[in-house]
Amino acid sequence: MLTDRRPRLAQLAGWALIAVAAAAIAFIPLPGVNTTPRHVTIRVEAAKFAFAPSELSVNSGDTVTLELVSTDVVHGLYVDQYDLGVEADPGQTSRLTFVADKPGSFRIRCNVACGQYHPFMIGRLTVGTPIAFWRAAGLALLAMAAIILGAVRPAREAPAT
Amino acid sequence: MKPRSIVLSTRGMSLLKKRGWQVALTTVMLAGLVFTAVAGWIGTPIGSRNFAIAFVWIGWFAALIIFLIPFIGRGWCSICPIPTVGDWVQRGNVLNPQGSRPRGLGLRVPAIFRNMWTQNAAFALLALFSAAILTSPRVTSVTLASMVFLAIGLSLVFERRAFCRYVCPMGGFVGLYSQVAPIELRVTSLERCAACQTKACYNGSANGYGCPWGVFPASLTRNNFCGLCLECLRTCPNKNITLRTRPFAADLAMPSTRPDEAFKSLIMLGSAMVYAAVLLGPWSAFKNAAFSIGSLAWITYAGVFLMLVLGLLPGSLWLVGRLSQRFTPGVEGTRTNPSARAQSPFAVFATPLVPLGLAFWVAFSLTFFLTNGSYVLSSISDPLGLGWNLIGTAGVTWQPMLAGAIAPLQTAILVGGFIWAARVARRVTTQVRLPSTPLIGFLFLPTVAMLWLLI
Amino acid sequence: MRLREHAARLAILVVVAAAGLIPLAAWLRTPLVHARMAESGGWGPDVLHARAGKPLLVRLTSDDVVHGFAVGLSDAPAVDVLPGKVSQTWLEFDQPGTYTFYCTRWCGPNHWRMRGTIEVEGVKTEGTATVSPPLFQVLGIDLDQPHPAATTPAVVPDPQRGAQVAAEVAPPPTLSLDAYRSHSPADVWRTWRADASLSGLTDAALWDLVAYTYNSQLASADRDDAARLFAANCAACHGERGDGQGVFAEALVQSEPDSGADSSMGHSADATRPADFTDSEAMLGASPALLHGKILRGGMGSGMPMWGAILTDAQIWKLVNLLYTFQFDGESGP
């Protein structure tokens, strides 16, 4: 590739800036939205092949009790990354209590085979803000900006193929 | 620019030319396919406990999209069992040509079908039924068997591997994404090809069959349609064909202008997003629509899916192309750029969708595999759900793997794929003298959507 | 060479045929009892054969959801039958006859229909036990008639106040087991109201005493067992609190469209709704014998299963004792 005519130092500075910005986006802890931890109980009904409600939302730090009520067959409720699960027969509500100390967006799934589409019986638990998504989107935005800004720098020509 | 390449040694080449290992490997794959079809039909209907689902859709598919395609391109096609029986029946032999007449009608595939549109339709169709295919062992069994019988039928009517080249729904995306792989099969010297009288690579000889993929090796500049079956290695009388390494995605330097390929990459992009939304998302209305095949809700879902992959996404890409043309400054600062207006940049603009779509599929499959991969182990020990324990892993309980690493991995794959696609976008837009920003912006939106769906 | 070609063809044929035939043969040689939801056919096979005195190995798998397997009127533990997995149990029968096996994990509103039989052949070694008719038949109770209490209290009686009343009244009135089982709480109240030694109690206090008496029939030793039986067998329709609001209640109401107000039994559309054990008016008018009969026989034009082949008499009486406790607020029992 033809080298850019800008001074090498400026080019290195540009890369360093991008690297720092990327690290910041990826790792800087956000100021916690300081909500008082509550005790939250959410009744979740499970039928083939969905949870109702399927999107749950709590604050970071809450003590969450999920009441699993199966309405047709034996179902389970498992929370990704918290690695906690419980199962319930119809007629026997089960409870799963835990402290939501990990912020983010987590899938909840049925972990008891309940029929053909059981692997897709999935819901979502959001604790606080879905921070991992925002970081990823931020990185993509940074990448787009860097590439576009790189593209509009003058005197850049594509290599002959 | 000559690619830095590692060319196989003479010894290596002569090993590849021997047919025995390929027939042996293909037979093993065929035995695996037969076992899978039988296990799928008579074994437990519970997908997670049946080899046909666990091994094929969780194990093999993840291996295909995450490793095989990105690293050895169409390597799977060289040992794929689906066309094998058709080949043997068509050729009348399992080893070298014996001089007997080929069986079957040997017709040329009609020109109207000599493109990717049939494969696009086949894949889109399979995608609509994917909920059932991915979860029901019997449906998988029937699907696999149907593909084998279709391949046999086509081999008896048409010449060469008509199924693989023009029909196979897997082949569409395997070929498309094989452009990324760091290996290629090419001729060494075009002059030697020009001087060759027999063109045995295409017409066949006593040492092997003419290219089953209907490709003339001298014209190979991309990996898409070479199935790495290595027949041409055996037939070329001039030792002019070689298998060698090259940089990743070297093929994308010469973007395709074919609309069928462009549509293929759009279909793959769209279906990755739909799968992520329907299969891994929390929206039960979409899921129920996708599961209840044949119902009105499913018909609506099918309509929305087809409108997305055949209408909305291609339409947006076309629009981006047109807008880029409209807003291109000319040489003297005018707002027109006559040379770019001559042809729509649609197909060229679809080129960055190759790395982006591959990244989408890798990210999606990785989630699926890490979450459900434990089923693969148990299905090896108890493939039919009969209570066996062949290698002691039948009792392995479902346990997601590396759960905490999934989000960072997906971020890396999707953002990395976006960066790669954006760089390809810069290169192809420069080649047609159009601005890259609109196209890069167009790539950004599905990337963010996929990040939101998966993370 | 032709030889190589033929050898290759043979090798391929053998390998591929083995890949297909070996699993097929293994499958044919593995008899399993398949559990499926009743809507999909139930147990397959649903008749098993055994010989008295000879242990029978039963290997089970589920083709859809979680099921369980147990033999009725037996205290052998139930075995879970899980989708795609194989579980097994050994059964042994001392006497020939027909036994019932059933599903023990709720698998839909028709879960209770998932039953099969085990035909046990052999020589009888015990004399035939005399079978006495159930109490409701002896008493001539019509199980299908509504049973509102003839007299009802103004407020829901309180067993805890009743405990205090029982402590204060001397001598406390006794109720023999037979008398308890044959009479509804309303009957007992009328009997005690006519008793001169209790004339000092107000109507309400007397109701409290009756409530305390019926509420405490469930011995503390039996409480866990009864609760477990109720949770496993009854709560899905009758509700975890016995209020008739179980997860299948709505499905049952909708599935019986013919139970209109003009049915010959005099039932309203609500007849198909699972009974509400918190409804004092109905419960105070029901004798234990009536409840025992309903559990034993089922039917009644609703989806109530027949439990006679599954639950032993002792288990049914424990459940009956438990049923009276749902209508009273607060803790049940002494």
What is residue C332's predicted lDDT score, i.e. its pLDDT?
Answer: 42
So what's the ipTM on this one? 0.90
Q: CA of B375, closest CA in chain A: separation in Å? A: 11
CATH homologous superfamily of A39-130 = Cupredoxins -  blue copper proteins (2.60.40.420)
Contact: A54, B283; criterion CB under 8 Å: yes
Q: What is the mean pLDDT of residues B409-415?
A: 96
Residues 77-96 in C contacting A (C-alpha not used; CB under 8 Å): 82-84
* Per-residue pLDDT reduced to its tens digit, C4-57: 899 999 999 999 999 999 999 999 999 999 999 999 999 999 999 999 999 999
* Per-residue pLDDT reduced to its tens digit, C210-269: 999 998 888 888 999 999 999 999 999 999 999 999 999 988 886 655 544 443 333 445
Give the confidence band of B100 by pLDDT, cuts at 50, 70, 90. low
What is residue B336's predicted lDDT score, i.e. its pLDDT?
Answer: 52
What is residue C257's predicted lDDT score, i.e. its pLDDT?
Answer: 53
The shortest CB-CB distance from B46 to any of C11, C84, C88 is to: C84
Q: What is the 3-state secondary structure (H, E, C) of chain C?
A: CHHHHHHHHHHHHHHHHHHHHHHHHHHHCCCCEEECCHHHCCCECCEEEEECCCCEEEEEEECCCCEEEEECCCCCCCEEECECCEEEEEECCCCCEEEEEECCCCCCCCHHHCEEEEEEECCCCCCCCCCCCCHHHHHCCCCCCCCCCCCCCCCCCCHHHHHHHHHHCCCCCCCCHHHHHHCCHHHHHHHHHCCHHHCCCCHHHHHHHHHHHHHCCCCHHHHHHHHHHHHHHCHHHHCCCCCCCCCCHHHHHHHCCCCCCCCCCCCCHHHHCCCCCCCHHHHHCCCHHHHHHHHHHCECCCCECCCCCCCCHHHHHHHHHHHHHHHCCCCCCC
Question: In this structure, what token pair is assigned to residue A108?
Answer: 């909840």
| Distance of alpha carbon A100 from alpha carbon A83, whole angstroms | 12
Q: CA of B252, closest CA in chain A: separation in Å? A: 11
Beta-strand relationship, A63-70 and A39-47: parallel
Q: What is the mean pLDDT of residues A76-95?
A: 96
On chain C, the residues whose CB falls within 8 A of the CB of B23 are: 8, 12
Those residues whose C-beta lies under 8 Å from the C-beta of residue A40, and which sit 6 or more positions away, are A58, A62, A63, A64, A65
Residue (of A28, A25, A48) closest to A122 by Cα position: A48
Q: Does C84 touch chain B (CB under 8 A)?
A: yes
Beta-strand relationship, C115-121 and C97-102: antiparallel
Q: CA of C191, closest CA in chain A: separation in Å? A: 38
User: Is B26's pLDDT higher than 90?
Assistant: yes
Q: What is the mean pLDDT of residues B286-311?
A: 95
Name which of A18, A27, A120, A161 to mutate to probe chain B: the one with the most chain B Cβ atoms within 10 A of its Cβ: A120
In which element (H, E) is residue A55 found? strand A55-58
On chain C, the residues whose CB falls within 8 A of the CB of A90 are: 106, 111, 236, 246-248
User: Is B341's pLDDT higher than 80?
Assistant: no
Beta-strand relationship, C115-121 and C47-51: parallel
What is residue C215's predicted lDDT score, i.e. its pLDDT?
Answer: 87
**Residue-by-residue DSSP string for B38-56:** HHHHHS-S-GGGSHHHIII
In this structure, what DSSP letter does residue B110 have?
A: P
User: Is B339's pLDDT higher than 70?
Assistant: no
Q: CA of B280, closest CA in chain A: separation in Å? A: 6
What is residue B7's predicted lDDT score, i.e. its pLDDT?
Answer: 73
Give the confidence band of C149 by pLDDT, cuts at 50, 70, 90. confident
Give the confidence band of C270 by pLDDT, cuts at 50, 70, 90. low
Those residues whose C-beta lies under 8 Å from the C-beta of residue A133, and which sit 6 or more positions away, are A105, B451, B452, B455
Residues on A contacting C at a C-beta cutoff of 8 Å? 69-74, 89-93, 112-116
Q: Does C29 touch chain B (CB under 8 A)?
A: no
To the nearest 10 degrees (0 to 180), the angle between helices B353-372 and B403-431 is: 170
Size of interface A-B (CB pairs under 8 A): 120
Chain A touching partners, 3 or more CB pairs below 8 A: B, C
Q: Does B386 touch chain C (CB under 8 A)?
A: yes
Question: If you measure CA to CA, which chain A residue comes closest to C247?
Answer: A71
| Distance of alpha carbon B86 from alpha carbon B103, whole angstroms | 10
Name which of B23, B25, B33, B49 to mutate to probe chain C: the one with the most chain C Cβ atoms within 10 A of its Cβ: B49
Domain limits of chain A?
39-130
Beta-strand relationship, A122-127 and A55-58: parallel
Question: In this structure, what token pair is assigned to residue B62?
Answer: 């993840």
Contact: C86, B387; criterion CB under 8 Å: yes
What is residue C266's predicted lDDT score, i.e. its pLDDT?
Answer: 38
Give the confidence band of B378 by pLDDT, cuts at 50, 70, 90. very high
